[in-house]
Copies of this chain bind each other. A is one copy, B any other.
Amino acid sequence: MKRKPSTEATSAWIRLMRVQSRVLDCVEQDLKKAGFPPLAWYDALLELSRAPSGELRPVELERQMLIPQYSTSRLIDRLVDEGLASRRECKIDKRGQFVEITEAGRELQKRMWGAYSTAIEKYVGSKLSDADAVKLSGLLDRLGCSCGEMKLPPVHVNETTPSR
């Protein structure tokens, strides 16, 4: 049976969608106007720069960034094309590889953070007290958890097997 959402919940949903897309747009525009690539590049470079010895398996990056596998693959393509990262083969698992951030990559990540942090302050920080930012984070966190099916291994349950 389907309980309907309250008007309060619906209204929160609508605001979440609209405000996020507006704010994201603003930030992306500021970055673009400053001559920087999209935010996704920043995220990837940040993850790589944080990783021990600056390299990760694509599959790790994928999990960190919560984006699909093919998306990761192509993002890495672009980073490599621009000389911001390089692929290294993985000795122990020849299917896999390592992606390593280059000096140029590290440098771009740092320069982007300048513009990025300014934009965050402009569009978020300056609109909210720290206490309110904490409240907002808390409320959002309540929505975030167990949203997807929490990675139920998609075993074939259609057989008569007692389902795990």
Contacts and interface: CB of A to CB of B under 8 A. Distances in A.
A32 interface: no
How many copies make up the complex? 2
Of the four ranges (under 10, 10 to 19, 20 to 34, 35 or more), the interface on chain A belongs to 35 or more
A51 interface: no
Given A13-B120, A121-B5, A139 B128 contact: yes
A123 B3 CA distance: 12
Nearest to A2: B118
A92 interface: no
Contacts of A141: 15, 19
Given A13-B120, A23-B143, A23-B147, A6 B125 contact: yes
A124 B15 contact: no
Contacts of A156: none
B132 A139 contact: yes
Residue of A4, A13, A18 with most chain B CB atoms under a 10 A cut-off: A13
Interface string A12-40: 11011111111111100000000000000
B137 A11 contact: yes
Given A10-B120, A140-B15, A135 B135 contact: yes
A24 to B, nearest CB: 7
Given A3-B126, A15-B136, A128-B142, 14 more contacts: A4-B121, A5-B124, A6-B130, A6-B133, A8-B130, A8-B133, A9-B125, A9-B130, A16-B20, A16-B23, A16-B136, A18-B144, A19-B141, A128-B143
